[in-house]
């Protein structure tokens, strides 16, 4: 039961490593790659703090073995901001609308919302609530998180329209 | 919360997967989406020495397609893919309605329909839906392919008639009757929770008279339950309050729930009855006739 050779793309960067197949993706990201943005919350696939994007889909990285992710394209919260360091519209909106208090759930929330807005660029409030229902926040009561996601959707649509 | 060590295998075909399953026997486990098995491995309730990941087996990802008057769903179709299928939502809407009540978006991106029905967890939602639909599970093994009726598949919690050295490759669902109404109604404490109780109902009617009915229950026994007597009571009768009361009582009578965090057994039996009542009302309203 040795280590296996894994190759992934993480935030656009090719990564190769030797890892035990049982290593959970969240541990691999945090401990092997020092990407500590995605958090370990419940470790039981309930809370969503560990949410990352895997091949274009939101997943809970505490419930994926790195062996299963071998060959996958991963995006974490570290890959969401623009290359020049300016914040993504979602990150900016969470700041503007106070979409966080302690901040523990925020990387998962934003990474999930980032994919949600690609799947559904103009969601209703209900669709936002349903779309982030796999992410728990114990501080905010969700109100400002939902507000921030809706504001970001509005902002991104305006930018897209201006570009067209 | 780190599982015990295992060797990882990623077969590319059903034949290769079956040979690995046969080779490792009790020391091997197949994994699809992993959202039932990985939590069990973390708790050391499952301890496979060899994990056989089916994700690259193209035959199992054959999607959702029509096959001679039935719908065939590949075992590796995820809940999210099932939800996204517009044609399936038209021909068999109860599947989307049930899938939308399973777990949460991230988990539905991983969790597969095949895993949900093959795992044998009485908390899973798809087994009762498949019983109501009279689906058949296509399994492949060393002796070839066999189709097992969902209604006879579940023996006890995590114990099914899948058999040794076999893999569930697809689910075959007969087209529900034209004009049918269906509903999957689930009570749960929160998003992502298993049902306190849930009911799947399909029916057809001419006016108020029920011409076909099929009822099944989730998480109120150590297996999903096909409520045969409750279904029979509705057929041929007017869907009036007294008839529905009798069907609800018949459904409640077959439940054997455990008392747990979701409530005492007697409460869960009554919740099951309420879920049946609501599902009948919704299915009736949705049925054309």
- What residues have CB less than 8 Å from B102, skipping those under 6 apart? B79, B108, B111, B116, B125, B126
Give the start-to-end residue ranges of the domains of chain B.
Answer: 7-53, 62-174, 181-286
Chain A closest-CA separation from residue B10 CA (Å): 9
What values do phi and psi take at B201, rounded to 5?
-130, 130
Superfamily of domain B181-286: CO dehydrogenase flavoprotein, C-terminal domain (3.30.390.50)
The average pLDDT across B196-223 equals 97
B192: left (phi over 0), alpha (psi -120 to 50) or beta: left
pLDDT at A124: 98
pLDDT at A164: 83
Q: B106, A68: Cβ pair inside 8 Å? A: no
The average pLDDT across B156-185 equals 96
Q: CA–CA separation, A142 vs A159, rounded Å?
A: 26
pLDDT at A128: 98
pLDDT at B62: 84
Q: How many structural domains compose chain A?
A: 2
* Residue B139 CA neighbour count, 13 Å, CB half: 24
pLDDT higher than 90, residue B19 = yes
Is there a single domain that holds both residue A14 and residue A54? yes
Q: A134, B107: Cβ pair inside 8 Å? A: yes
> Which residue range forms the structural domain that includes residue A8?
4-79
Residue in chain A closest to B43 (alpha carbons) equals A44
Residue that terminates a domain, selected from A28, A60, A79: A79
pLDDT at B185: 98
* Residue B148 CA neighbour count, 13 Å, CB half: 22
Is there a single domain that holds both residue A60 and residue A103? no
pLDDT at B209: 96
Is there a single domain that holds both residue A71 and residue A53? yes
Q: CA–CA separation, A60 vs B260, rounded Å?
A: 27
Matching fold, domains B7-53 and B62-174 = no
Block residue for tokens 């009582």: B249
pLDDT higher than 90, residue B289 = no
Q: B3, A46: Cβ pair inside 8 Å? A: no
Report CA torsion sign: A117, A118, A123, A126.
Answer: negative
Residue B122's CB is within 10 A of a number of other CB atoms, namely: 24
Report CA torsion sign: A152, A153, A157, A163.
Answer: positive
Tens of pLDDT, residues B45-95: 999 999 999 999 999 988 999 998 999 999 999 999 999 999 999 999 999
Answer whether residue A84 is part of any domain: no
Q: A22, B3: Cβ pair inside 8 Å? A: yes
- Name the pLDDT band for B44 (thresholds 50, 70, 90): very high
Residue in chain B closest to A52 (alpha carbons) equals B106
Q: Does B103 touch chain A (CB under 8 A)?
A: yes
Chain A residues with beta carbon closer than 8 angstroms to that of B28? none
Q: Which CATH number do you get for residue A62?
A: 3.10.20.30
Residue range B62-174, CATH number = 3.30.465.10
Strands A51-54 and A57-60: antiparallel
**To the nearest whole number, what is the mean pLDDT of chain A?**
97
H helices present in B56-138, as ranges? 79-84, 86-91, 93-99, 105-110, 113-118, 126-132
Q: Which two tokens stand for residue B37?
A: 């098995």
- Name the pLDDT band for B113 (thresholds 50, 70, 90): very high
Q: What is the architecture of the domain spanning B7-53?
A: 2-Layer Sandwich (3.30)
Q: B39, A59: Cβ pair inside 8 Å? A: no
B231, B213 in Cβ contact below 8 A? yes
The average pLDDT across B268-278 equals 98
Q: What percent of chain A has pLDDT over 70?
A: 100
């Amino acid at each position: 039961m040795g280590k296996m050779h894994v190759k992934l793309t993480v935030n656009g960067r090719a990564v190769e490593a030797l890892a035990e197949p049982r290593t959970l993706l969240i541990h691999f990201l945090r401990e092997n790659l020092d990407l500590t943005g995605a958090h370990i919350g419940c470790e039981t696939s309930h809370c969503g703090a560990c949410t990352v994007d895997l091949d274009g889909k939101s997943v809970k990285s505490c419930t994926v073995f790195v062996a299963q992710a071998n060959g996958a394209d991963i995006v974490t919260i570290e890959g969401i901001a623009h290359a020049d360091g300016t914040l993504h519209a979602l990150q900016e909106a969470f700041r503007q609308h106070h979409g966080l208090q302690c901040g523990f759930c925020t990387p998962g929330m934003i990474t999930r919302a980032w994919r949600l807005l690609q799947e559904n660029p103009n969601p209703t409030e209900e669709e936002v609530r349903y779309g982030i229902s796999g992410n728990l926040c114990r501080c905010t009561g969700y109100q400002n998180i939902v507000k921030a996601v809706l504001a970001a959707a509005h902002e991104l649509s305006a930018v897209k329209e201006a570009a067209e | 919360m780190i599982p015990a060590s295992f060797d990882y295998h990623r077969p590319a075909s059903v034949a290769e997967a079956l040979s690995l399953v046969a080779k490792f026997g009790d020391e091997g486990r197949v994994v699809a989406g992993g959202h039932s098995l990985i939590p069990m491995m973390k708790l050391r309730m499952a301890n496979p020495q060899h994990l056989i990941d089916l994700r690259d087996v193209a035959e199992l990802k054959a999607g959702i397609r029509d096959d001679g008057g039935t719908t065939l769903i590949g075992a590796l179709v995820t809940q999210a893919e099932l939800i996204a299928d517009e044609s399936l939502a038209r021909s068999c809407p109860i599947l989307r309605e049930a899938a939308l009540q399973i777990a949460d978006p991230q988990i539905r991106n991983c969790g597969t329909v095949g895993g949900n029905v093959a795992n044998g967890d009485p908390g899973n939602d798809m087994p009762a839906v498949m019983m109501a639909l009279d689906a058949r599970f296509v399994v492949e093994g060393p002796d070839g392919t066999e189709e097992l009726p969902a209604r006879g598949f579940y023996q006890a919690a995590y114990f099914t008639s899948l058999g040794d050295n076999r893999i569930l490759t697809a689910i075959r669902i007969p087209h529900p009757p034209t004009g049918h109404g269906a509903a999957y109604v689930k009570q749960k404490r929160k998003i992502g929770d298993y049902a306190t109780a849930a009911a799947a109902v399909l029916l057809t009617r001419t006016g108020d008279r029920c011409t076909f009915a099929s009822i099944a229950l989730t998480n109120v026994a150590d297996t999903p339950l096909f409520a045969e007597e409750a279904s029979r009571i509705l057929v041929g009768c007017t869907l009036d309050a007294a008839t529905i009361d009798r069907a609800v009582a018949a459904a409640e009578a077959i439940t054997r729930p455990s008392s747990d965090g979701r409530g005492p057994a007697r409460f869960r039996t009554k919740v099951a009855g309420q879920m049946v009542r609501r599902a009948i009302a919704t299915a009736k309203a949705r049925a054309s006739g």
